[in-house]
């Protein structure tokens, strides 16, 4: 395998990985915000659980989810600094429940497919 | 924190005015928290290089700001294939032939002349101007369609039954044969002077002597083209012999059209205008205008069409499949 091919595969893998993570990230953010948090602690919490996300991805996502009515936010002072706190809304909770069911369905289907093709995860 | 302030100012520049303060305040809070965390980990203040590393991880300011904006397109992904096809169609059917034939002939005609280079370069100027205007107009029209959401309705009315049938490349559509036959009949009647252009009183327009020199060859070629169309209408499948025959007729037609274009690029005229009341300057202007109109509208297209048809005919004659045809090539060849 040439250096060029390795680089191309690396870029391809990174793009596919980002695509795969994009949908999961919405789910993770909604689930994390069942408890009120501000952006930085949310980011740290996700990273500690193995889901690293940069600020350029997280904050636009939070704004989008808020504009869709799935999150609510308010500016509050904490440790002498103004911070924006986010929490899941009632609609958000409903959507999260439906998304989790979908996620579990996808997981089961994928496991079945991988088992059949001899690429079992275990 | 000068680096951070400069970074935030740069991000702010690209943000929509109503969200600038809010987004920058939140981003600033995040980056300050990162710096504080790092400082408590190291037990000292961060130096400029370490702050720079944190900012670099966030990405370039324009890219960071762009992530907060909705995705915007001049021409969206739904409309883009149609837009691209229209551009290609005009490039392949008009500008391609224009570039190859006119510029080629101009260079050929001015070969050896004192200012050959300047003459050839001068041809490119109107070409690129026209190309730019065409690109701008097509892009503008599609951008307007995109804005008006007209494409959404078009996509909703999609129906598998309305898709084009798969074409047999060796089948000649009857509609093409009949329309082409009608064209050659009209051309023949005009050529033998049965059908006349509506006369302008006091003005007489006839073919220039240089054109009339080819009167009989052109008459034979028109009859041959019409006869092949007639046969195609009744036997709508190419066979190698018929393809070879049309290939010869098309190649000769291409040479005739090329000869006319050469007259034009050399500054000659294809028609002779006479009129008792016309001044010689008016006659020259009228002859030039008619020649220019015919050449630009008809002859360039005809030359490109005959050349493309000759290639396709030669392939069919050699029992090879014709070059796979896209929309542009089909329009050019007239299949």
Q: Is A17 within a domain?
A: no
Q: Is B311 within a domain?
A: yes
Cα(B201)–Cα(B136) distance, integer angstroms: 42
Q: Is A69 within a domain?
A: yes
Contact B64 A83 (CB under 8 A): no
The reported pLDDT for the residue numbered A2 is 62
- On chain A, the residues whose CB falls within 8 A of the CB of B30 are 39-40, 43, 55, 59
The answer to whether B132 and B142 are in contact (CB under 8 A) is no
Residues B198 and B245 in one domain: yes
Q: Is B168 within a domain?
A: no
- The pair of structure tokens assigned to B268 is 């000659």
The total domain count for chain B is: 3
Contacts of residue B273, defined as CB under 8 A and 6 or more positions apart, other chains included, come to B203, B204, B205, B283, B286, B287, B290
3-class DSSP state of A89: coil
Looking at this predicted complex, what is its ipTM? 0.79
The reported pLDDT for the residue numbered B197 is 64
Cα(B332)–Cα(B309) distance, integer angstroms: 8
A118: left (phi over 0), alpha (psi -120 to 50) or beta: left
The reported pLDDT for the residue numbered B229 is 92
Residues B183 and B302 in one domain: yes
Residues B188 and B260 in one domain: yes
The residue from B97, B131, B162 where one domain ends is B162
CA distances from B215 to B45, B60, B191, B294 (A): 94, 70, 8, 18
Residues B56 and B115 in one domain: no
pLDDT at B95 over 90: no
The total domain count for chain A is: 1
Higher pLDDT among residues B155 and A72, named by residue = A72
Residue bearing tokens 């952006």? A39
pLDDT at A65 over 90: yes
Average pLDDT over residues B120-144: 79
Residues B243 and B323 in one domain: yes
Residues B32 and B145 in one domain: no
pLDDT at B169 over 90: no
Q: Is A64 within a domain?
A: yes
CA distance A113 to chain B (A): 31
Per residue in B16-74, pLDDT (tens digit) is: 888 899 999 999 999 999 999 999 999 999 998 999 999 998 889 999 998 888 777 88
For chain A, give the mean pLDDT.
88
Q: Is B20 within a domain?
A: yes
Domain encompassing residue A38: 23-116
Residues B151 and B201 in one domain: no
- The pair of structure tokens assigned to B83 is 């837009």
Cα(B47)–Cα(B50) distance, integer angstroms: 5
Nearest to B57 among A40, A54, A82 (CB): A54
Residues B269 and B146 in one domain: no
Cα(A37)–Cα(B33) distance, integer angstroms: 14
A80: left (phi over 0), alpha (psi -120 to 50) or beta: left
Predicted confidence band of residue B6 (pLDDT cuts 50, 70, 90) = very high
Per residue in B235-251, pLDDT (tens digit) is: 988 899 999 999 999 99
pLDDT at B219 over 90: yes
- On chain A, the residues whose CB falls within 8 A of the CB of B23 are 59, 63
Residues B49 and B139 in one domain: no
Count of residues making up chain A:
122
Q: Is B147 within a domain?
A: yes
The CATH code of the domain that includes A28 is 1.10.10.10
CA distances from B302 to B98, B219, B257, B333 (A): 11, 16, 7, 10
Higher pLDDT among residues B114 and A80, named by residue = A80
The answer to whether B310 and B245 are in contact (CB under 8 A) is no
The residue from B33, B66, B99 where one domain ends is B66
Q: Is B319 within a domain?
A: yes
3-class DSSP state of A73: strand
10 Å CB burial of residue B214 (0-12, 13-18, 19+) is middle
Residues B274 and B204 in one domain: yes
**pTM confidence score:** 0.59
Q: Is A65 within a domain?
A: yes
Q: Is B292 within a domain?
A: yes
Which residues in B have their CB inside 8 Å of a CB on A? Answer: 23, 25-27, 29-34, 57-59, 63-64, 67-68
Residues B140 and B229 in one domain: no
Q: Is A122 within a domain?
A: no
Q: Is A2 within a domain?
A: no
Average pLDDT over residues B221-226: 95
3-class DSSP state of A37: strand
Domain encompassing residue B50: 2-66
Q: Of A41, A47, A60, A80, which to mutate for an interface test with B (greatest number of B Cβ within 10 Å)? A: A60
The answer to whether B99 and B304 are in contact (CB under 8 A) is no
Q: Is B100 within a domain?
A: yes
Q: Is A32 within a domain?
A: yes
Predicted confidence band of residue B111 (pLDDT cuts 50, 70, 90) = low
pLDDT at B159 over 90: no
Residues B189 and B152 in one domain: no
The reported pLDDT for the residue numbered B117 is 55
For chain B, give the mean pLDDT.
83
The reported pLDDT for the residue numbered B104 is 64
Contacts of residue A31, defined as CB under 8 A and 6 or more positions apart, other chains included, come to A96, A100
Per residue in B182-216, pLDDT (tens digit) is: 999 999 998 888 877 666 666 778 888 988 999 99
- On chain B, the residues whose CB falls within 8 A of the CB of A84 are 25-26, 29
């Amino acid at each position: 395998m040439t250096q060029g091919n390795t680089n191309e595969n690396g870029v391809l893998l990174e793009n596919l990985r980002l695509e795969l993570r994009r949908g999961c990230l919405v789910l993770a953010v909604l689930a994390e915000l069942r408890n009120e948090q501000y952006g930085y602690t949310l980011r740290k919490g996700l990273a500690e659980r193995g889901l690293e996300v940069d600020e350029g991805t997280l904050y636009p996502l939070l704004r989008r989810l808020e504009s869709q009515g799935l999150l609510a936010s308010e500016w509050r002072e904490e440790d002498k600094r103004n911070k924006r706190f986010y929490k899941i809304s009632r609609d958000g909770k409903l959507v999260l429940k439906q998304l989790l069911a979908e996620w579990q369905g996808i997981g089961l289907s994928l496991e079945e497919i991988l088992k059949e093709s001899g690429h079992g995860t275990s | 924190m000068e680096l951070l302030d400069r970074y935030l100012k740069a991000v702010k520049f690209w943000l929509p005015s109503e969200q600038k303060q809010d987004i920058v305040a939140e981003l600033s809070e995040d980056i300050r928290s990162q710096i504080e965390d790092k400082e408590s980990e190291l037990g000292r203040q961060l130096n400029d290089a370490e702050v720079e590393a944190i900012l670099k991880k966030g990405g370039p300011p324009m890219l960071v700001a762009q992530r907060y904006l909705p995705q915007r397109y001049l021409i969206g992904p739904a409309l883009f294939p149609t837009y691209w096809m229209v551009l290609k169609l005009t490039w392949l059917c008009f500008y391609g032939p224009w570039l190859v034939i006119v510029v080629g002939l101009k260079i050929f005609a001015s070969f050896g002349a004192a200012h050959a280079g300047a003459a050839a370069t001068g041809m490119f100027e109107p070409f690129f101007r026209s190309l730019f205007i065409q690109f701008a107009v097509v892009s503008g029209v599609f951008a307007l369609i995109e804005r008006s959401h007209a494409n959404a309705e078009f996509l909703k009315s999609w129906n598998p039954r309305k898709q084009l049938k798969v074409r047999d490349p060796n089948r000649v559509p009857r509609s093409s044969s009949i329309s082409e036959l009608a064209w050659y009949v009209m051309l023949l009647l005009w050529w033998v002077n049965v059908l006349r252009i509506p006369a302008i009183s006091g003005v007489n327009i006839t073919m220039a002597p240089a054109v009339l020199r080819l009167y009989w060859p052109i008459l034979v070629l028109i009859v041959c083209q019409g006869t092949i169309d007639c046969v195609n209408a009744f036997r709508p499948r190419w066979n190698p012999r018929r393809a070879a025959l049309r290939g010869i007729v098309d190649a000769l037609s291409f040479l005739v059209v090329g000869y006319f274009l050469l007259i034009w690029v050399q500054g000659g005229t294809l028609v002779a205008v006479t009129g008792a009341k016309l001044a010689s300057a008016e006659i020259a202007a009228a002859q030039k205008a008619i020649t220019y109109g015919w050449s630009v509208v008809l002859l360039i297209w005809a030359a490109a069409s005959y050349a493309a048809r000759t290639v396709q005919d030669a392939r069919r004659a050699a029992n090879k499949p014709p070059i796979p045809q896209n929309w542009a090539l089909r329009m050019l060849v007239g299949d």
